[in-house]
Amino acid sequence: MSSITRSTRGNPWMYRGLIWNFARRDLKARFRGTFLGWLWSLMLPLATLLIYSAVFSIIFRAVPPPFGNGEPGIYVIWLLVGIVTYSFFGNGVTLAMPSLLSAGNLLQKIYIPSYVPVMGTAIAASTQSLVEYGILLVVLIVVGNVGLTWLLFPFLLLMFFIFTLSVSIILSVLNVYARDLQQITGVVIQLLFFLSPILYPLDQVPEEWNGIPIRAVMAANPVAEYIVAFRNLLYDLALPSGKNMLALTAWTVGAALLAWFVYLRKGQDIGEAV
Amino acid sequence: MTDVAVRAENLSKRFRLQRERRTAMKERFVRGKAPKAQEFWALRDASFEVPRGSMFGIIGHNGSGKSTALKVVAGIYRPTAGFVHVNGRMSALLELGAGFHPELTGRENIALNGSILGMSSKQIEQQTEEIIDFAGIADFIDSPVKTYSSGMYVRLGFAIAVKVDPEVLVIDEVIAVGDEDFQRKCFDFIADLRSRGSTVIIVSHALSIVSEMCDQAMWLDHGEVQEVGVARDVVDAYLKRVNEAEAAKIGLNSTQHFGLSRRGTGEILVTGIEYLDGDGRPTPFLVNGEACSIRMTYIARKEMSDVVFGLNFFNGSNINVAGATSAEQGHETVPVGAGMVEFTLDAMPLSPGNYSVSTAVVTRTRFIDLVDRQFDLTVRNGGTIPNGLVRLSGGWRRAEAELDPAVLEALGEPAEPTAEVGFASAPPAAAS
């Protein structure tokens, strides 16, 4: 019956109700005071996708690989898989990172494990990306590119969520002690956009540039690995390569372990550090 | 289950005090690591046990480590050394409405805050209506809390907190802010919890509450435990120390005291005021309707004859509610030296609240010493709540007289009682 012991402190399942309430708070508060309210959570992703489609089908035209069903590929759809995946990570980290600082007053008054507000915000942030994935799936169904590999999509998404959440926990805890981290992360996330095969496939990148193995560097970043895997499942209707799956698992497990370590080392004294 | 609800052993908490915190990286790179942080122990080697179902008070002056002790017990701070073991579902009330989101409505915040305080969603669902009722803000419950007045905010926070029903409650007395009515609700809530067998740990400045409500108390000074034991004894020991320190201070600078608020020729100077309860024991406040004395201490620099002492009481709105002078008992001759005058009341007539007290020393011809509203007096509620600013004490008598039955008939039947009749308080005012 003892309420605060080491074992319950580090058990997110104990706090699932609270995490869910934090997520609901973020979702409700985001569009509060707007005329359209909840509609915005559908309209914002739609608008983002439309902007990218317009810009890249007029200005930046590349030849996409063919669909998995054998039809000629459509560049915009190929692009969208990359963009949605990238923004799942980018938005998640950007929104969840300041969540500990903004929950500071609360953490000084009531004991809750510091990962709780981060998880709540991460869940709220990823719902927008879920809507984006939903729109993407609808588009793919419309063009008739559907396959059995879609069955693996929820598992890949769950893994991606755990990876994004782990990075968010690491950064939000460290951000309390070194607040520039938020600015640096903003820049790094922007850089990731161009270091990932979003606009162009990896094989268009020169293998070596001034002695730097640039293609290998790009391919090694975790967001790039996830983009490749999501494209395989949704667009190419193929299974990701074993090497790719191994890399994803390593990144995700590594990030989760590091998040756990950072939480144990630094995340338990947030109440006095904020 | 053991009979100990909370056990703390050699509990210590060290803080690093930095003159500047280098949380920005530029500062770390450009100016190196922050200068070696000064360390101080906010809590040192505190050991205590709180038996199940009892109430435990923590007292001490500001900065003595009371709140740190509370936060360590509540799990908000991790102890630097030692450990605390809590048996039972614990809830901490250090601030009401902590975690309210300003954009969300009262109803939505009930769900969020209830879950922060550890209620399950089922419990919250069942109790939402009761919470709204108890807070008395039904008209505003679907408006964002950013539009609430601070009173409504606190009432809602409190209404949620009382539904948590913890086995161990850790509570900071500062939550009992607001009007007397609200304070009484807070203490009723604590009394109710105790009657259901819950354990309460409270940090309080109100020594009478600690000595009356608590079974045991701990007195902290600079993070170190001075005494742990029966609440009344601990409070007495603490008061004795405070009074000694106060007396020493006043003895030294009594003449410079009170600056511009002091007027008069100054042959006699009032050096302080003390409040005593009916048994003549010093007390930090007086209780409405109970016997008490107010003691003025003074230093006379010159012998004066025909001296009259006076007291004046001002309430929060600066209305001179009452006064008293020793003139009724005749004028006195005061010799050179220190002394004191006591004004004794059989029943404190002032209504519960906070007052400022002025002291006066005069003769027929001059103002010797006037200290204008420099002393604070808190009068607490004692049983019945009087209407008005003062309680009138007098005798009541009833007698019967002849009545023509025709008059009774002409008056008809008395009205049926309705819900509106009585002393119900006015509905809460809207937030501006």
Q: Which residues of B212-235 are buried (b: 16+ CB within 10 A; e: fewer)?
A: ebbbbbbbbbebebbbbeebbebb
- Interchain pair B98, A110: CB under 8 A: yes
Return residue ranges of chain B for CATH 2.70.50.60: 258-380
Question: Topology of B4-237 in CATH?
Answer: Rossmann fold (3.40.50)
Overall domain count for chain A: 1
Nearest residue of chain A to residue B116 (CA atoms): A18
This model of the complex carries an ipTM of 0.75
B220 CA: distance to closest CA in chain A (Å): 21
Cβ–Cβ below 8 Å for B25 and A178: yes
In tens, the pLDDT along B165-189 reads: 888 888 887 666 666 777 777 788 8
Pick from B1, B23, B86: CB nearest A4 = B86
Q: Is the residue at A256 inside a domain?
A: yes
Q: Does B26 touch chain A (CB under 8 A)?
A: yes
Q: How far is A119 from chain B (nearest CA, A)?
A: 14
Residue A273 has pLDDT above 90, yes or no: no
Domain B258-380 in this protein, CATH class: mainly beta
Average pLDDT over residues A48-53: 81
Q: Please tell me the predicted confidence (pLDDT) of residue B27.
A: 63
Least confident among A96-110, A162-176, B163-177, B357-371:
B163-177
> Looking at beta carbons, which residues of chain B come within 8 Å of A25?
101, 104, 108, 112
Q: How many CA atoms lie less than 13 Å away from B197 in the CB half-sphere?
A: 4
Q: Are the Cβ atoms of B104 and A178 closer than 8 angstroms?
A: no
B103 contacts in chain A (CB < 8 Å): 28-29, 32-33
Is the Cβ pair A4, B23 closer than 8 Å? no
For the stretch A125-139, pLDDT in tens is 998 889 889 999 999
Asked, for residue A117, whether it belongs to a domain, the answer is yes
Q: Which helix (H) or strand (E) holds B49?
A: strand B38-51
Residue B425 has pLDDT above 60, yes or no: no
Q: Tell me, yes or no, if B7 comes closer than 8 A to chain A by beta carbon.
A: no
For residue A24, list chain B residues with Cβ-Cβ distance below 8 A: 111-112
Domain with CATH 3.40.50.300 in chain B: 4-237
> Distance between CA B107 and CA B158 in Å, rounded?
14
Name the average pLDDT for chain A. 87
* Separation CA A72–CA A65 (nearest Å): 7
Q: Tell me, yes or no, if B90 comes closer than 8 A to chain A by beta carbon.
A: yes
Q: Which residue has the higher pLDDT, B91 or A122?
A: A122
CB B104 within 8 A of CB B395: no
Q: Is residue A269 part of a domain?
A: yes
Of B243, B234, B224, B181, give the one whose Cα is nearest residue B204: B234
Beta-carbon contacts below 8 Å between A and B: 92
Q: At what angle do helices B150-161 and B106-116 cross, to 10 degrees?
A: 40
Nearest-by-Cβ selection for B23 from A3, A112, A178 = A178
Of B85, B108, B116, the CB nearest to A28: B108
Contact (CB<8Å) A2/B86 = yes
Give the pLDDT band (50/70/90) at residue A4: very low
**Cβ-based neighbour number of residue B383 at 10 Å:** 8
Model pLDDT, residue B428: 45
Name the residue range of residue A267's domain: 6-273
Q: What is the mean pLDDT of residues A91-116?
A: 89
Which residues in B lie closer than 8 A to residue A105 (C-beta atoms)?
A: 98-99
pLDDT band for position B249 (50/70/90)? low
- What region, left, alpha or beta, does residue A104 occupy, with left being phi > 0 and alpha being psi -120 to 50 degrees? alpha
Torsion sign across C-alpha atoms B28, B33, B38, B39: positive
Chain A nearest-CA residue for B83: A5
Q: Which residue has the tokens 């109700």?
A: A17
Domain assignment of residue A1, yes or no: no
Q: For chain B, how are helix, strand and coil distributed in percent, rounded to 5?
A: 30, 35, 40
**Contact between B115 and A177 using a beta-carbon 8 Å cutoff:** no
CA distance B24 to chain A (A): 5
Each residue of B282-315: pLDDT tens digit? 888 888 888 999 999 888 888 888 899 999 999 8
